[in-house]
Amino acid sequence: MYTDSHCHLENKRFDSDRAEVFARARQAGVTAMLAIGNGDGPGTGTLDCAIKLAHQFDGVDATVGIHPHEAALAKQPDFDELERLALDPKVIAWGEIGLDYYYDHSPRDVQQRVFVQQMEMAHAAKLPIIIHNRPSDNSENAWEDLFRLLREHWISTGLGGVLHCFTGTVEHAHAALDIGFMISFAGNITYPKAQNIRDAAHLAPLDRIFIETDSPYLAPVPHRGKRNEPAFVIEAARQIAGLHGKTTEEIGRQTTENFLRFFRLGSTPQ
């Protein structure tokens, strides 16, 4: 039993065989998936993309939100739409939101403003947040801004959050755990150069982690370079199992229980 805590299933790369992708996930034991609802960003009519999938496919829940890449495109009608979409019962989190100083597709001050505004909206909607955070090369910049903004605008809500596709250091992992966040590990934990991610996964308590694919991106070894899909989430579980001396199935079950507990989705399906 496995849960993919973060996947972009609306992506055009799934248009030709989306039903088969879901069937393969089920076949692999992936019983729950969280579809991320950023779509193509504000102004493209796709901010409801994850909700549509969640209503169409069993075992899929949804998020809404504006990715930091597209922060500069966000206008008031987009925030109004998100406020309305967040009322859908399939929406269990707000995200992915945060800071990306690696690509800088939107100016950093705008990224911060749109991040803060969405934290306020998530608070009003009583939803936890899914964080995307990427600093520029050899820099702590986005991490410092992230934890400062979380301290100023989020931690006191008590709603919690998830650091998705964790790529930081053990210090960043400790900082996230200290403020009560869950840490989600993606397929890049299998990459030879990703020792920092494996170190973080090694120290993280097993009841504080999720696994994800971030599909169609970041396919794990041995699928690296190909399109990623939820069935491949098992490779992150396999890697973490090795670090903790557990079986892959045990990590799958534990991370599924974590997901259901954190999002208050009821008991583990048998």
Interface residues toward Zn ion, by CB under 5 A: 96, 132, 214
For the bound state, the minimum distance from the C-beta of residue 200 to Zn ion, rounded and expressed in Å, comes to 16
User: Rounded distance, CA 73 to CA 202, Å?
Assistant: 38
Nearer to Zn ion (CB atom), residue 119 or residue 241: 119
State which residue, 96 or 235, has the beta carbon closest to Zn ion. Answer: 96
Nearer to Zn ion, 35 or 241 (CB): 35
Nearer Cβ to Zn ion (167/258): 167
Distance of CA 49 to the CA centre of its chain: 15
In sequence order, the 6+-apart residues with CB closer than 8 A to the CB of 264 are none
Greatest alpha-carbon span in the chain? 50
Token output for 227: 């399109």
What's the rounded Cα separation, in Å, for the pair 123 and 7? 23
- Least separation in angstroms between residue 270's CB and Zn ion is 30
Closer residue to Zn ion (CB): 52 or 132: 132
CB of 8 to Zn ion, least distance (A): 6
Nearer to Zn ion, 50 or 125 (CB): 50
**What is the dihedral angle through the alpha carbons of 181, 51, 7, 30, rounded to the nearest 10 degrees?**
90
Q: What's the Cα-to-Cα distance from 106 to each of 34, 66, 74, 99, 115, rounded to whole Å? A: 25, 12, 10, 9, 12
* Minimum separation from the CB atom of position 164 to Zn ion (A): 6
State the nearest-atom distance from the C-beta of 267 to Zn ion, in Å: 28
User: Which residue has its beta carbon closest to Zn ion?
Assistant: 132
Cα–Cα distance between 63 and 86 in angstroms, integer? 8
Query: Do 8 and 214 touch, CB atoms closer than 8 A?
Result: yes
Closest distance between Zn ion and the C-beta of residue 36, in Å?
5
Closest to Zn ion by CB, 61 vs 253, is: 61
Distance separating alpha carbons of residues 185 and 91, to the nearest angstrom: 21
What are phi and psi for residue 163, nearest 5 degrees?
-90, 105
Q: How far is the CB of 165 from Zn ion (least distance, A)?
A: 5
CA 16 to chain centre: 24
